Homo-oligomer: A and B are copies of this chain.
Amino acid sequence: MRVLGVDPGLTRCGVGVVEGVAGRPLTMIGVGVVRTPADADLGHRLVAVEQGIEQWLDEHRPEFVAVERVFSQHNVRTVMGTAQASAVAMLCAARRGIPVALHTPSEVKAAVTGSGRADKAQVGAMVTRLLRLSAPPKPADAADALALAICHIWRAPAQNRLQQAVALHTSKGRTA
């Protein structure tokens, strides 16, 4: 199973591709950050995020896209940009018929560290170990994107298969 994890953001949108199945060693296929200039207007920043995500989808052809679920409760100042970047990522995936899954930050932390309240350093350390990397991916957004992908591979494989079947059916229906 190949998953693109997306840690959404307008200034830095973390992206990471992981391949593997639950219970077997995982492989990192790619990791990076899609950046948009803070002084550009919002519409152009969203276009830049779209172009970046499209490039990752083209290059790595993931079967699933896992996006961090954005909550409106915290980080009020930046949450709108995060919600908007996540919308673009979900749109790009759904347009291609790729199933999109949302995972909360605490689900992701719990999946990779065993604790939903782990800090960034702990998440980075576990991502490094689980993917057998020589150093933690930088910046933290990139490590978080890999953690999202790992979380998705480990959570509910049966649910993934169901979702994939539904997405395939829906996208066939739309093009028919």
Contact = CB atoms under 8 A, between A and B. Distances in A.
B83 A46 contact: no
16 contacts: A41-B100, A42-B90, A43-B90, A43-B100, A44-B94, A46-B94, A47-B94, A50-B91, A72-B80, A84-B86, A84-B90, A85-B87, A87-B87, A87-B88, A88-B88, A88-B91
Interface of A: 41-44, 46-47, 50, 70-73, 76, 79-80, 83-88, 90-91, 93-95, 99-100, 102, 170
Contacts of A170: 44
Taken together, the copies of this chain in the complex come to 2
Contacts of A87: 46, 83-85, 87-88
Contacts of A94: 41, 43-44, 46-47
A70 B81 CA distance: 11
Given A47-B95, A100-B43, A79 B90 contact: no
Contacts of A100: 41-43
Contact of A83 (B84, B91, B95, B99): B84
A84 B99 CA distance: 18
